[in-house]
């Protein structure tokens, strides 16, 4: 169990939450929700002691698994060692044992200490640690040949998976996971969902993947109204309950205001007359009926609508013939692929990490030169490109403001158009003039989407645009893509986003690149039926 008492946090005079009293119980899986900036990551960091409390107390079980997305700490360690570090007591004992065995003199004291360490290692299942770590890594899609390599020698997305395995390692009594599905492909997300369903401790997870929250969570802890409110059920159940509770409160207030208005008419009419006792009764009733003050919700949803393209493209938007490409010669991840993308297609690009989704999109956007073959844009194609690595388009060392970035990037001359686009993406007031170097990941993503909205291209190529966006923004993006009148090609692992807009898939697997005509649900159903022999 994890318990918090009178927990409060203020940052720069802004109250994130105040006097929170909650118990997170064993066997429950809690989704921690709230928009970007609500304090979700801050809350988890407060639980583990890496963030100072404004006030309050936190009680934790002895063994905690915490997802740390800090790669620099583990660059020189092997992947398997990084995972085993998830059990601090075991790792400390293993290191000390190795150091003692390497010592030149084997004294009685050293022998006694080695015996004590072997007891600790046995208690922590240390003799099966490597095999347990290998099971976790393999489940996360890291093959055996990577397990003994240093972290810095494996791709970045695989390093993040190793850190997730680190959090899961050693049978922790509580798991605290901050965005565990980032850098995971669909297969790995499915494996993680199964693992968490079987987990018996207390889980608190932050995720912007609505499908994942609905699949995993038994409860939702929602940060809003300057507190944290527990709701039973998954994310969709929480939204329904929250809206109903808020609706009833607002309805009660309106009914009270209407009744007060009627009573005030009576008081005004007879206040100076002979019906003093009745007037006083009405005055007391007015005082009793005063509406409850409702705190403002911190939930905000951006308005994402890509305008109709100013120019219509030809019927064939992209044509590829025997296209091959990658990042280095000799490492082709796209091999001799031929295909066409047509005007109005809404395509999701899916596949396991490392099979070339980003490479294919960069080839489509002409950000990479093919090794061989042809990749051609059709007539009058105008591309709006959203890279997975935001720093390809936004220099995060620059002091230029968000407003000036859009003005320079889009060529729009009317200030009100730029302010309007920024406002739709939640850059209100002075936030429009924040330097891009100070923007969070979510704010940078919204800035890039605002740029695309102003450019009005007829072909959108988006690589993991939902990364760093909160649940409200991802829903808005899905609606924007569904309503878009141009052609859209989007790589994503967010199943709700894909299901919301895509009518066709480009699938990357061990066989290569192929099209599937239909939605993600239809594809997954077809894939499942083929496995069971239908």
Do residues 179 and 69 make contact, with C-beta atoms less than 8 angstroms apart? yes
- 270: Cβ–Cβ under 8 A, 6 or more apart, which residues? 278, 279
Q: Find the mean pLDDT for residues 489-493.
A: 93
pLDDT tens readout for residues 299-324: 778 999 999 888 899 999 999 999 99
Q: Which residue has the higher pLDDT, 183 or 389?
A: 389
Residue 418 has pLDDT above 70, yes or no: yes
Do residues 196 and 203 make contact, with C-beta atoms less than 8 angstroms apart? yes
Helix (H, G, I), strand (E, B) or coil at 257: helix
Do residues 26 and 79 make contact, with C-beta atoms less than 8 angstroms apart? no
The maximal CA–CA distance of the chain, rounded, in angstroms, is: 106
Residue 490's nearest CA partner among 384, 413, 414, 411 is 384
Q: Find the mean pLDDT for residues 8-32.
A: 90
Q: What is d(CA 24, CA 203) in angstroms, rounded to the nearest whole number?
A: 8
pLDDT of amino acid 274: 59
- Which of 256-265, 296-305, 345-354 shows the lowest per-residue confidence on average (mean pLDDT)? 256-265
Average pLDDT, the chain: 86
The strand order across the sheet containing 383-386 reads 383-386, 459-463, 487-491, 346-351, 504-509, 512-517
pLDDT tens readout for residues 202-242: 999 998 888 999 999 999 999 888 889 999 999 988 888 88
Do residues 202 and 24 make contact, with C-beta atoms less than 8 angstroms apart? yes
Residue 390 has pLDDT above 90, yes or no: no
pLDDT of amino acid 534: 35
Q: Find the mean pLDDT for residues 499-506.
A: 93
pLDDT of amino acid 516: 93
pLDDT tens readout for residues 167-197: 888 888 999 998 888 777 787 888 889 888 9
Residue 441 has pLDDT above 60, yes or no: yes
Q: Find the mean pLDDT for residues 351-376.
A: 90
pLDDT tens readout for residues 55-69: 999 999 988 888 877
Locate 154 and state its tokens: 């494996």
Helix (H, G, I), strand (E, B) or coil at 140: coil
């Amino acid at each position: 169990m994890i318990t918090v008492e009178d927990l409060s946090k203020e940052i720069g005079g802004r109250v994130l939450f105040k006097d929170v009293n909650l118990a997170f119980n064993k066997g429950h899986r809690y989704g921690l929700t709230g928009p970007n900036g609500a304090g979700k990551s801050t809350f988890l960091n407060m639980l583990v002691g890496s963030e100072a409390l404004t006030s309050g107390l936190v009680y934790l079980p002895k063994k905690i698994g915490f997802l740390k997305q800090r790669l620099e700490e583990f660059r020189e360690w092997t992947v398997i060692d990084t995972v085993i570090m998830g059990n601090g007591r075991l790792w400390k004992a293993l290191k000390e044992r190795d150091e003692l065995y390497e010592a030149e003199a084997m004294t009685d004291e050293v022998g006694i200490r080695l015996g004590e360490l072997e007891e600790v290692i046995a208690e922590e299942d240390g003799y099966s640690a490597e095999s347990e770590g290998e099971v976790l890594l393999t489940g996360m899609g890291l093959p055996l040949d990577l397990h003994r390599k240093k972290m810095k020698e494996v791709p970045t997305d695989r390093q993040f998976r190793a850190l997730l395995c680190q959090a899961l390692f050693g049978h922790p009594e509580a798991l605290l996971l901050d965005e565990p599905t980032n850098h995971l492909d669909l297969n790995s997300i499915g494996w993680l969902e199964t693992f968490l369903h079987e987990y018996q401790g207390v889980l608190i997870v932050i995720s912007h993947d609505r499908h994942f929250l609905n699949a995993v969570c038994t409860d939702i802890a929602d940060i809003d109204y300057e507190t944290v409110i527990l709701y039973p059920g998954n994310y969709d159940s929480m939204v329904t309950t929250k809206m109903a509770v808020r609706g009833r409160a607002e309805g009660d207030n309106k009914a009270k205001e209407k009744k007060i208005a009627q009573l005030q008419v009576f008081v005004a009419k007879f206040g100076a007359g002979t019906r003093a006792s009745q007037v006083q009764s009405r005055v007391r009733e007015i005082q009793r009926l005063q509406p409850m003050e409702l705190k403002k919700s911190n939930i905000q949803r951006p308005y994402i609508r890509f305008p109709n393209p100013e120019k219509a493209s030809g019927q064939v938007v992209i044509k590829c013939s025997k296209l091959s490409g990658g990042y280095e010669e000799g490492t082709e991840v796209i091999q001799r692929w031929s295909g066409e993308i047509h005007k109005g297609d809404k395509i999701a690009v899916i596949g396991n990490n490392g099979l070339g989704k980003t490479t294919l999109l960069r080839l489509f956007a002409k950000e990479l030169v093919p090794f061989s073959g042809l990749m051609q844009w059709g007539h009058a194609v105008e591309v709006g490109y959203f890279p997975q690595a935001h720093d390809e388009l936004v220099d995060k060392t620059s002091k230029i403001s968000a407003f000036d970035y859009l003005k320079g990037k889009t060529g729009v001359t009317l200030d009100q158009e730029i302010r309007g686009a920024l406002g739709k993406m939640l850059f209100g007031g002075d936030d429009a003039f924040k330097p891009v170097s100070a923007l969070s990941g979510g704010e940078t993503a919204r800035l890039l989407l605002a740029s695309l909205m102003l450019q009005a291209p007829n072909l959108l190529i988006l690589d993991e645009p939902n990364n760093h966006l909160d649940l409200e923004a991802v829903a808005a993006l899905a609606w924007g893509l569904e309503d878009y009148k141009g052609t859209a090609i989007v790589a994503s692992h967010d199943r709700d986003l894909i299901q919301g807009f895509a009518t066709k898939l480009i699938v990357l697997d061990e066989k290569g690149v192929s099209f599937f005509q239909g939605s993600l649900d239809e594809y997954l159903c077809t894939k499942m039926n083929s496995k069971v022999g239908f």
